Each structure stands twice: as structure tokens, then as C-alpha cells.
Amino acid sequence: MADDRKRSSYSDINKKYKFLNEKTSDEEMRRRKRDAEKNRREMRKKRSRYTHEQDMSKTMVLSPEMVEKERKRIARQKKIARQKKMRRRRIISAIILVLVIILLALGIKKAVSKKSETPKTTTSITDNKPVKPQPIVESLVKFSKTNKMTNLYEKSEKTSTILEQVPNNSYIKYYSEQGDFAYVGYNTKRGYILKSDLTDISDKDQFKVIKGVLLVNDDYKLASDYDPGIDEDARKSFTLMVNDASKENIILRSISDYRSFDQQSKLEDVEDVKFAKAGNSEHQSGLAYDLIGEDYSLKYKKDFAESKEYKWLIDNSYKYGFVLRYPKGKEDITGKDFSPWHFRYVGVELAKILHSQNITLEEYLKVADEKVNNSSDKKDDNETNDNGQNENSESDNSEDNRKDDNKRKNDSENDNRDNRKEENSNNSDNSEDHQSDRDNDRNDNENSENNN
């Protein structure tokens, strides 16, 4: 009976929906499938677009089962997020730990290597004796030239810091020696260069340094390839002097400072101004300035000596290390005409000496005596050729003059002695002749008496 009830119940359902009585075609089945698939897609779209921020005016009624399901879903998402966060933290911690281990290993290795190294002592290059430190001399001794590419070291040892690489055939300022090194100046830096990498300048008339001062004039010149630019100390002192002068309503301008050999060779004389030959100009050393005041029309004019700017320079320029290079009344000593615009930087100490004693650079360096002697010798030669007389000229070199006078006196005394000897000999000869004549006369008289 149970089977009959089951069969009758299924038959009722089949009759109600006509599943057994009607046969659906293949086309109907395909249509139903398409509709069902379409409904599923729409439901998926609706679910994907669903958010809690939808129209809240509509009240959603959830059953307890749906609430529990939603709670579990949210809890599951939170758990997954916590797991991802923990995994990320573990990875970062592992990377940091590896880096710390690597750094510790490198530090330990470096410490071990330092302990294993023996301390190095600073020694000379030619022998193993340690170099005794010597005092650094700041006074310029001479100029030298590099004979190859070399290094400018901070200290007198090869292991010290390299300040700069010095090219071949570069001019350097030579100050003092420190073992196998020389303490020198190159550009604006000072340091040490191996003495074997330096060569002295063969021309004695080039780069003349006396008492730590570079002398440039008609007798002593600079090389054509010497190109130092403006001296840094001179530039700083000049800037300070101009600023201080402006505070006293004195306006100073530079119309010319550094000039290279080529620039100097292209200059043409202006009216009474005769420019120095290329190589014999102080401007090439980077230590000279040609100045002018507010009146630009006084450029290279001797009337600049009447200006207030010139008077201020005469009274104050030495305080900044500058001196009037070619003053009035010293033309025979400097070999240049009075140039009130030309000032040379020599340093504050030397500038004070020249200003207080009112002397030129040639007089301080004792080269003025040579010039005066040479000029006086030329005058004497000309006078002896014209008049046949030899006159002595007065000069500062009194010792040489005294020697010449003594020599002349000795020569004259010797000549006088010789003359006296000759006179005496002549007188003696004459007396003997007179005596013989007298004897002859007596004999003749006696003979004549006897005959009578």
C-alpha cells in the first residue's frame, strides 16, 4: 500500500504540471536553459553590486540563520586578514634579522683584520730612518717646475691625503724642504711634493726671488707660459681695502689687475704711458693693480696724483699690504716713470717697512745699487771717450769706490816712484858726464901748460 500511495502521489504531481502528458521539444529545452542562465547571471550581478550603503530606507528582514551566516562570513574575513598581516610581519622580521647578521659579520671581520695588521711607521722613501718633523717656512724661496705628473700631498708622506694632481710643466712656489718632500704652493693650495718631481728654473733672470719677494722689472722677467691668475691673498686684501675706503666716501676701482703674457704683448702705449714688455710686467704675477677713482677721465693720467683717492691710498694702502710701485723721484731706481695708479701687493709687514722708510722695492732688496753703478759706469765710459778724462760717479756702493780710489792712488804712487828713479838715474848719469868733462878739461889745460 505504501508503494501505491507513493505512486499515486507522484502521479498527482505529474498530472498537475503535465510532465508526462506533454513532450517538450528540443528548442523549448534550449530556450529554458538560456533563460535559466540569464537569470543566474543577473543574480550574480545583483550580488556583486550589493553593498550595505544601498537605499537604507528599505527595511531588510533577516532570519536568524541569515544573521548567523553573515556573522561567520565576517569572522572568516577578519581571520584571513589577520593571517596575511602576521605572514607579512614574519617576512619583514626575517629580512631584518638577515641584514643584522650580515652587518655583524662584516664588523667582526673588520675588527679582526685591524688587530692582525701591524702598525706602520712613517719612513723616508730612500731609507728606513724616520723623517724628523721640521718647521714649515712660509717665506718664498724660489720657483720650480714639475718634470712629470705628480701629486700634492697634505703631509710629507705618500700615505697622506692627495690634495690635488699637479700636471707636468707646472710652476710651483717653493718654500722649504721636509725630507724627500718640498713644502710648496700650487694655485690656492699648499702641501708637499716629492723633490725628485721638481726641477729648478735654469734662466737666472726669470722668477727672481729675493728675501721672499718676487721681483719683476726690466731686468727680471716671468716666463711666457706662466699663468697664475689673480693672487688670492692680493684679491682678499684689495676687496677689504675698497670696502674700508667706501666707508670714508672714497671710491676705488680697478681698471686692470691680472694680465697674461699674450694680453700684455697686445697692449699699445697710451699718450705718455709706456707699458712694460710682455714678461716684464708685474701684472702677469697677479699681484699688481691699476687703480682709478670716481673721475674715470684720469685713467692712466699723472693728474690722478692730485685726487683725493690717491692721497687716501698713500696714507692707507700699506695697511692692506699694497705699495705705490713707481713713486715720483725714484725713476732712476725703478726704471719706470711716475705711475700714481700702479700699486703692488707685497704683504702687510713689508708694506709697512717700505712706507715708513720711504723706499722702493729695489732699494729694500738691494738691487738699486747695481742699477746705479751700471748707469754710472756707462756715463764714465762715454765721458772718457769724448774728453779723455775719467771721472768717478758717486753711488751707494762706497766700498767699491774706495777700492777703486786706493787702486788709482797705488798706481799713481808707483808711477811717481818710477819717475823718481828715472830722474835720479838720469841725474846721476848727467853728473858723471859733467865730471868726466871737467877731468878732460883739466888734462887739456895741463898739457897746454907743459907745452908752453
- Per cent of the chain over pLDDT 90 is 52
Mean residue pLDDT across the chain: 78
Between 318 and 123, whose confidence is greater?
Answer: 318
In the chain, residues under CATH classification 3.30.1380.10 are 232-366
- Residue 47 corresponds to which cell in the numbers above? 550580488
Residue 87: predicted pLDDT: 94
Q: How far apart are CA 97 and CA 101, in angstroms?
A: 6
Distance of CA 133 to the CA centre of its chain: 25
Span 341-362, mean pLDDT?
A: 94
CATH 3.40.50.2000 fits 142-214, yes or no: no
Residue 113: predicted pLDDT: 81
Per-residue pLDDT at 82 exceeds 60: yes
Per-residue pLDDT at 383 exceeds 90: no
CATH class of 232-366: alpha beta
Return the DSSP state at 126: S
- Picking from 106, 123, 124, 125, the residue whose alpha carbon sits closest to that of residue 114 is 106
Residue 4: predicted pLDDT: 52
* Per-residue pLDDT tens over the stretch 189-241: 999 999 999 999 988 899 999 999 999 999 999 999 999 999 999 999 999 99
Q: How far apart are CA 335 and CA 327, in angstroms?
A: 11
Per-residue pLDDT at 395 exceeds 60: no
The CB density around residue 179, as the number of other CB atoms within 10 Å, is 22
**Cross-strand bridge partners of residue 302:** none
Residue 25: predicted pLDDT: 82
Q: How far apart are CA 383 and CA 161, in angstroms?
A: 65
In the chain, residues under CATH classification 2.30.30.40 are 142-214
Q: How confident is the model at residue 267 (pLDDT cuts 50, 70, 90)?
A: confident
Written as one letter, the residue type at 52 is H
pTM comes to: 0.55
Residue 401: predicted pLDDT: 47
Residue 411: predicted pLDDT: 54
Residue 271: predicted pLDDT: 72
Helices 308-316 and 232-247: crossing angle, nearest 10°? 120
Residue 283: predicted pLDDT: 95
**Cross-strand bridge partners of residue 447:** none
**Cross-strand bridge partners of residue 270:** 273
Q: How confident is the model at residue 431 (pLDDT cuts 50, 70, 90)?
A: very low
Query: Are the C-beta atoms of 318 and 252 separated by less than 8 Å?
Result: no
Query: Are the C-beta atoms of 343 and 318 separated by less than 8 Å?
Result: no
**Cross-strand bridge partners of residue 123:** 130
DSSP string, 22-83: SPPPHHHHHHHHHHHHHHHHHHHHHHHH--TTS-TTSPPP--HHHHHHHHHHHHHHHHHHHH
The CB density around residue 360, as the number of other CB atoms within 10 Å, is 20
